A and B are shown apart, each in its own frame.
Chain A
Amino acid sequence: MVATTLPQPRQRRPFSWGNPLTYVLALAVAAVSFAPVIYVILGGFRTTGQLAADPAGLPDPWIWHTYANVITQSKFWSELFNSTLIAIGTTLGVVVMGVCAAFVLSRYQFRGREALYTYFTVGLLFPAAAGILPLYLLLRDLDLANTYLGVIIPQVAFQLPITIVILRPFLAAFPAELEDAASIDGADRLGFFWRILLPLSRPALVTVAVLAFVASWNSFLLPLLVLQNEGLHTLPLGVQNFSAEHSQDTAGILAFTSLAMMPALLFFSLAERQIVGGLQGAVKG
């Protein structure tokens, strides 16, 4: 049936309505993925009593004050601020350091280049969690425990290997003629990098930026160890604190959890195309 709907033009096949089976399957998959999230959001609109009496029911009546309480009385806003600050810092650090290193690794000829590249990719071979205890001790000794930088710098370091692995082939793919032309126009290598390569690399830069941002936004173990001062806690820590401190207040936990996941959901729905698109280069077969 699909064969008959295939049109001639090769650029973009128009969407068809597909067959019902496709929709049933897609709906089932989407429901399994999304239903728990709906449950959490709706649960925040019910009282803990309602939740206990009929765990799977719908809000009736809708209660707004649980959400209002979370927003006004918990540390939600300061945690949101901390998460944002750390994620932006991490993203900037990763993109700047990553693109500089990837530029050298892709467009300079020098002895030891492949060795240097391998050195970075070693980071992909083992889990960052394995080094977390000595890393904590190091951060403590450097007086970086309980600071934003104590989370940002290690996160930049963890994220560098994958960033360089994604950026290097992208930067290497620009033809040498481009560089020659820039050189004839009087640009040295750095000028070429700054004025020509960087603007052209925007899609790949956005991809690595989004990946770094999401990784930082969701990270838990490192902030858990490094940020013992509650005023510095990020949202994932906040979610855990809230659920531990208000263990009897199921509705409150649901409300806090759904508020905490909103920024990530919004951000991702805006950036989804970019992520999938950007990974295409990295997983080219």
Chain B
Amino acid sequence: MTTTGSPVLAGRADARPARPRPDGTSRAARNRRKWYEIIGLTGPAVIVFTVFVLAPMAFAVYYSLYRWSGYGWPTEFKGLDNYFGEYGAFKDPIFLDALRNNAIILVGSLAIQGPLALGIALLLNRNFRGRSVFRLLVFVPYVLSEVTVGIMWQLILLRDGTADSLLKNLGLGDLVTGWLADPSVVIWTMLFILTWKYTGFALILFLAGLANVPPELTEAAAIDGASWWQTQRHVTLPMLGSTIRIWMFLSIIGSLQVFDVIWVASSPAVRSLGASNTMATYMVDHGFNQREWGYGNAVAVILFVISFIAAVVFQRFVLRRDIEGALTTRKG
């Protein structure tokens, strides 16, 4: 019934010459069987994805309209008070600080990790002995869990800890500051830790992208007398375009949902001042820990809307030409 419904698709499906089926089943029976297979094979994935990824977002919208302790069914309807009311998120300076911190992390990540990873990728893409060992070492921060990384840097950056003592030994004692305690410094410390951790992710993507650049091209450039740098600049880099745009996309989404490292590495006291909060830590603090489920869900919805707008705008204006070529490989 459906194969004939869509002339375009049916045309494509029937483009191959008809063959007698060994089992001699009718067209209708085959078609029915095909739909059983489609539903049977995609069903579990569709259900799991719908119930555990998309449905929670819909529930968040619903819950966010209530004041609710999380028990029973929400009854105390508040409309948009959790967003714009006197005690709504947009009236809370701590939440606005969290927004600002997310913005710092987003811009900082794009501006620092990309160029840094690109430089390292070009370096590690050269042929030299021991290259694979260097690659392995450079990926290490990305492999470690966010919690490990958070605890590790927390210990290193303790007051009068290793970092401070190293700085003093280098004669840079004046730089020593409350890396994790000073409210005006801590967000930059977090940005540093995130840079240390996630540059490796950009690097993995860029190295994979570089491996797709046909060696014939760089060889031809070299034969034409281009220097190494000229070759990178005019041949290799342009071919990385789609990879860079995908990384930017993933980095934007990642920056908006930063949670683990901040949660672990900066103390709740500093966070609650707004100094290092992000939307996600603020959300868990209020929704989960303080049982303000309606309010927490309002923050979730704001986080979702901001991410979605960012993603759609990025898709529309930057990723558009990669839609076929990047996340989904160009055919042929």
Contacts and interface: CB of A to CB of B under 8 A. Distances in A.
Interface of A: 1-3, 5-6, 10, 13-18, 22-23, 25-27, 29-30, 32-34, 36-37, 39-40, 43, 54-56, 93, 97-98, 100-101, 103-105, 108-111, 113, 116, 119-138, 153-154, 156-158, 160-161, 164-165, 168-170, 172-173, 176, 180, 183-184, 186, 188-190, 214, 217-218, 220-221, 225, 235-237, 239-240, 243, 250, 253-254, 257, 260-261, 264-265, 268-269, 272, 275-277, 279-285
B300 A37 contact: no
B329 interface: yes
B148 A236 contact: yes
Contact of A265 (B143, B219, B222, B280): B143
Contacts of B120: 29
Contacts of A108: 34, 37-38
Interface stretch (B84-92, B104-112, B179-187, B210-218): B210-218
Contact of A15 (B34, B44, B131, B165): B131
A133 B288 contact: yes
Given A172-B331, A280-B208, A285 B326 contact: yes
B144 A37 contact: yes
B45 A97 contact: yes
Contacts of A16: 127-129
B56 to A, nearest CB: 4
A283 B166 contact: no
Contacts of A236: 145-148, 260
Contact of B311 (A33, A126, A261): A126
A272 B38 CA distance: 34
User: What does DSSP make chain B's interface, helix, strand, loop or mixed?
Assistant: helix
Among B144, B264, B322: residue with most chain A CB under 10 A: B144
A257 B127 CA distance: 35
Nearest to A139: B52
Nearest to A214: B143
B80 interface: no
A129 B330 contact: no
A101 B137 contact: no
A217 B10 CA distance: 44
A218 B145 contact: yes
26 contacts: A18-B126, A33-B139, A56-B162, A93-B48, A104-B38, A111-B2, A122-B54, A123-B54, A124-B327, A125-B307, A125-B311, A127-B253, A129-B283, A153-B52, A160-B53, A183-B19, A188-B23, A218-B145, A236-B260, A253-B151, A257-B148, A261-B145, A265-B143, A275-B204, A280-B209, A285-B325
Contacts of B75: none
Contacts of A123: 49, 53-54
Nearest to B144: A261
Contacts of B131: 15, 26
A15 B228 contact: no
A101 B300 contact: no
A109 B9 contact: yes
Given A55-B164, A109-B9, A284-B212, A133 B297 contact: yes
Given A158-B53, A284-B330, A186 B151 contact: no
A116 B222 CA distance: 46
A33 B200 contact: yes
Nearest to A271: B143
B53 A169 contact: no
A56 B166 contact: yes
A180 B16 CA distance: 10
B215 A13 contact: yes
Given A134-B57, A138-B55, A240-B264, A160 B147 contact: no
B66 interface: no
B207 interface: yes
Interface in B269-288: 280, 283-284, 287-288
Given A36-B153, A97-B48, A125-B307, A15 B128 contact: yes
Contacts of B129: 15-18
Among B146, B225, B226: residue with most chain A CB under 10 A: B146
B56 A138 contact: yes
B207 A276 contact: yes
Nearest to B165: A55
Contact of A283 (B42, B49, B141, B242): B242
Interface in B1-38: 2-3, 5-6, 9-10, 12-13, 16, 19, 22-23, 34-35, 37-38
A116 B287 CA distance: 33
